[in-house]
Structure 1
Amino acid sequence: MRLGAHVRQDSDPIGVGERLGADVVQLFVVDPQSWDKPQPHPKAEQIRNSGIDVVVHSSYQINVASLNNRLRMPSRNAVAQQAQAAADLGAFGLVVHGGHVRTDDAVATGIDNWRKLFQRQEDKGGFGVPILIENTAGGDHAMARRFDTIARLWDAVGDYGAGFCLDTCHAWAGGEKLIGVVDRIHAITGRIDLVHLNNSRDEFDSGADRHANLADGTIDPQLLAEVCRTADAPVVLETPAVGIADDLAFLREHL
């Protein structure tokens, strides 16, 4: 099992990963709050040649599902650009949040917009790396909060090779119980490509995306360890940096 963390010092992700003893690191290729085009990473060769696996998280403002052209079109471009930047680093995927629409009536269109992302990129030769759609914590009209909506989304994009990233904090805060969560997602998507293992500062079904260290949140840490054991996928911690070394030590002890 490959265990690691999101590294916030993107200028030296492999160095940080080595200091943590990580098998995998996650990083951004742009400022996550920007629409910037990715630039070549100054340590790209080191990242590609390292024994540490790499996955890239896309910028936060991306919303492929949106019905607003001024948001959806830049989002499509950003996904393609950041996927290519991830490929240039030898990453195994690009994590993209499911996004949301504004009304229940628009959910079907939002799902179709996801299908169009893959369909149009397929005509251009596909993405540089697999796109790993991540479940999200909040939003009444989200594409990937409730598992029944994820099932509708997967009917639209599953045949295009979409991957799935399971975030434990997001599932819990989004109102999905973690007992048996791996089996339920496998029944929908047939795959889990990455686990974001995070505890939650907030209660079940709060809709709040606030991560906690494994021993400090409202989710039983043993239940989080059980998700790791059953998911059979790389695990990335996105917990607060001050306790991330302890979180890795906990996982190594309990897995």
Structure 2
Amino acid sequence: MRIGAHVDDVDPLAEAAEREADLVQFFLADPQGWKAPAKREDAQAISDSDVDVFIHAPYVINLASLNNRIRVPSRRLLLQHAKAAATVGAKGLIVHGGHVRDGEDIATGFDNWRKAFAYAEKEGGLPTPVLIENTAGGEHACARRYEMIARLWDAIGEYEPGFCLDTCHAHAGGLDLTDVVDKIKAITGRIDLVHANDSMDGFDSGRDRHANVGHGEIGAEAIAHVIREADCPAVVETKGGAAKQAEDIQTLRELLK
């Protein structure tokens, strides 16, 4: 099991070494902004390293949105990040499932997801696999509840997207971690990455607040169970910098032996 952490983007290889991480996840641009990623001078070094890389897309992307001012730039930004992620040898580009607003037809949101993949295909395709991440809150979210994830996959399954399972989001979103892997795989056919985060809040709280492994409402054993069942790489997105993340990584390694 390869385990790593979400790290600062300035020198991700140094961050990996400090944590003794097998892999890193980082942003290529401001996660709250719409700017395209800049060219990285260290792109080849990152790509050539033994450290596996995953890129997280900006939070502003909402491919389900019915608002043209959000949906259209979201499609463009996703493709820009997929191209930039390929230059660092990324194994996946993680993007949140998105949502529609209260009173809007979520069926249109799912179709907007389909149109985003169709747009990317028309523009030459996505050079980095897109991994859709489940979300913690929102009654109009496209990837919080099983039934919504199933409807999303009905819309985009032909494009063979990947899936990123966040343990904090699942717990806060009301998905029981004891069988979440089986239920997700029954819908998507795969899980490509686990975001191994504990939760500061209770089950089905709808709140996305990460805690260090074993210091939240989920517990280290339950998180390790998800990784073991998913049988894929895992990333901790926890607080406390290198020292605390290194502890989280070591805790999970010990439990997964």
Q: Report TM bin, short chain.
A: over 0.9
Deviations for 1:124-161, whole angstroms, at most 9, x for unmatched residues?
Answer: 22112011000000111000011110000001111101
Q: Deviations over 1:203-245 (max 9, x none)?
A: 1111100000011100121111111111011101101134211
How far is the alpha carbon of 1:104 from its aligned partner?
Answer: 5.8
Deviations 1:74-103 (A, max 9, x none): 111110001111011110111000010013
How many percent identity over aligned positions? Answer: 57
Size of the aligned set, in residue pairs, is 254
Q: Structure 1: any 5+ residue segments left out of the alignment?
A: none
Residue 67 of structure 1 aligns with which residue?
66
Structure 1 residue identity aligned to 2:169: H
Match of 1:95, SS state, is strand
Contact 2:75/2:120 (CA < 8 Å) preserved in 1?
no
Give the AA of the match of 1:77. Answer: R
Q: Could you tell me which residue of structure 2 aligns to residue 196 of structure 1?
A: 195
Task: Render the CA deviation track for 1:20-39: whole Å, top value 9, x for unaligned.
Answer: 11111001000111111111
User: Deviation at 1:49?
Assistant: 0.8
**Alignment map for 1:8-23 (pairs within 5 Å):** 8=8, 10-23=9-22
Q: Within 5 Å, give how 1:234-253 maps onto structure 2.
A: 234-242=233-241, 243-253=244-254
Q: Say whether residues 1:172 and 2:171 are aligned partners.
A: yes
Question: Which residue does the alignment assign to 1:138?
Answer: 137
Q: Work out the CA distance in 2 between the residues paired with 1:110 and 1:82.
A: 21
| Superposition TM-score, scaled by structure 1 size | 0.97
Contiguous gaps of at least 5 residues in structure 2: none
Q: Which runs of 4+ in 1 moved over 2 A?
A: none
CA contact (8 A) 1:104 1:141 kept: no
Which stretch shows the higher mean deviation, 33-42 or 133-142? 33-42
Q: Distance in 1 between matches of 2:36 and 2:119?
A: 20
CA offsets, 1:173-204, max 9 Å, x none? 01111111110111000000110010000011
Q: 39-48 or 200-209, which moves further after superposition?
A: 39-48
Letter in 1 for 2:246: A
Q: 1:53-202 maps to which residues of 2 (within 5 A)?
A: 53-103=52-102, 105-202=104-201
Instruction: Please name the residue that 1:3 is paired with.
Output: 3
**In 1: Cα distance, 2:203 partner to 2:46 partner:** 37
